[in-house]
Amino acid sequence: MKVFLCRLLPLSTLLTIPASSWALTSVESTTILRLEQRDAAGSKKDVAPLTQFLGLDLDRLSGSSLSLHFYGWGRLDLAEKSYNTDQGGGSVTYGYLQYRPRDANAELRLGRFFVHEGIVNEQVDGVGARSDLPFGLAISAFGGATVHTVNLPGEESDGKGDGLFGGRVSYRYRGVVEVGLSGVYESAAPSLATHAGGNHRLVGGDLWLAPHSAVELTGHSSYNTETSQVAEHSYLLNVRPVQELTVSARYEEERDRSYFYTWALFSGAALDPADRSRSIGASASYRIRKGELFAEYRRYKRELGTADRFGGEAKFSFADNRVRAGGGYHYLRADQSFAISGTQSPSYHAVRGYLMTDTPSYFGALDLTAYLFKEKIFGRKSAWEGTASGGYHLTRALALSGDVAYGSNPQFSDEVRAVVRLTYNMAYDGKGGTK
């Protein structure tokens, strides 16, 4: 109960603000009732979780440059438990006050928020600020309490430290290049009984380069100060020789121990320091009059072996975009060493096709996905799932919809799922009217 009350605190704080002191910019609410019957090895289980998602954006609090942003969810199981041993759950994804001065490109945040700066990708309960400086420089910093998740199996914590801070400095030259240096430092991780955990401490650099309007290079490299090794390289090159065509090349490399060092659930700190994963790939997309064609190839290399994935997709739109259709095919060819225990091959074909329509009054979709295994997995040669969806716009902002899905796979001999969904999305102008 204590945890549940803590999760509701940011929302209750929001509701104490007098309605006359803010301008509601947008509200997003989705209520989902999921009906599912699971059949695993002859044991059937009926679950019916009721989940509520809620997002709010309130601008110009008391006519100032303050705004408030919130998004969270809560779940209550109406039948058997759908997840772990709890009958319900919930979380505040983010909830923060933001101040943005009208005469400067800067911002200050207070509450729970995400930080995406250079190599930093964190969720924190605390304070954060960023601002442009003269001569193309910019600076950002954040600090606060770590957002903890559920405890690891058999442990009394999630393996994370209790405090977190970091930041980034950057330099941008016109619209051509930007380079940045960033880092994150988490307080000491707790000792674990059965898992190998580690301190979360990284530094690194990032790059954005656009020497020509048709060429763009982005990427970053990070260094783990706990292992004294590079953790990751990730770079993407996009070239647009003509307006309709985009050709991309990608390179990614992770030193497994340094990259997964704090993933206690997978005992990342116990991995061999010499293990690394690498992938290279290329893709091309071409926009046509009524759609887009896409093809890609990627090669993966790990200590276990190598794998290749290639394929393509096509999507089309008709009737002023009210009807859309598409499909795709991919093949994964992987070495035997990637196969899960008890199976002969990890290679498979993946096929997908869909058809959807959206009109001012109703909307619907049909979606079919199939995986065809090169060798049987637990006695099954394939896995597939079909989904039929339909809905009706009760008002401009309110819609009632539902999905029914049926499939079969090596884990579940038969799987049936149904979802009933009530969605409300509305954006408001500054005078209280709808956009």
Residues near 366 by Cβ (< 8 Å), separated by ≥ 6? 354, 355, 356, 386, 387, 388, 389
Q: Which of 122, 169, 128 is nearest to 146 (CA)?
A: 122
Q: What is the pLDDT of residues 305-350, one digit of tens each?
A: 899 999 999 999 998 889 999 999 999 999 888 877 767 788 999 9
Alpha carbon distance 166, 105 (integer Å): 20
Lowest mean pLDDT: which of 46-55, 78-87, 90-99, 166-175? 78-87
pLDDT more than 70, % of the chain:
91
Judge whether residue 38 has pLDDT over 50: yes
Alpha carbon distance 224, 119 (integer Å): 11
CB 96 within 8 A of CB 112: yes
Q: What average pLDDT does the segment 199-221 reach?
A: 96
The conformation of residue 347, written as its DSSP 8-state character, comes to -
- Look at 158 and 413; give whichever has higher pLDDT: 158
Tally of residues, the chain: 435
> What was the pLDDT predicted at 6?
40
Q: What is the pLDDT of residues 153-202, one digit of tens each?
A: 888 888 899 999 999 999 999 889 999 999 999 999 888 888 888 899 99
Please indicate, yes or no, whether the overall pTM of this predicted structure exceeds 0.75. yes
Helix, coil or strand: residue 9: helix
> What was the pLDDT predicted at 349?
97
Going by pLDDT thresholds of 50, 70 and 90, the confidence category of residue 5 is very low
State the DSSP string of 294-335: EEEEEEEEETTEEEEEEEEEEEEEETTTTEEEEEEEEEEEE-
> What was the pLDDT predicted at 41?
62
Q: What is the pLDDT of residues 95-154, one digit of tens each?
A: 999 999 988 899 999 999 999 999 999 999 999 999 999 999 999 999 999 999 888 888
> What was the pLDDT predicted at 155?
84
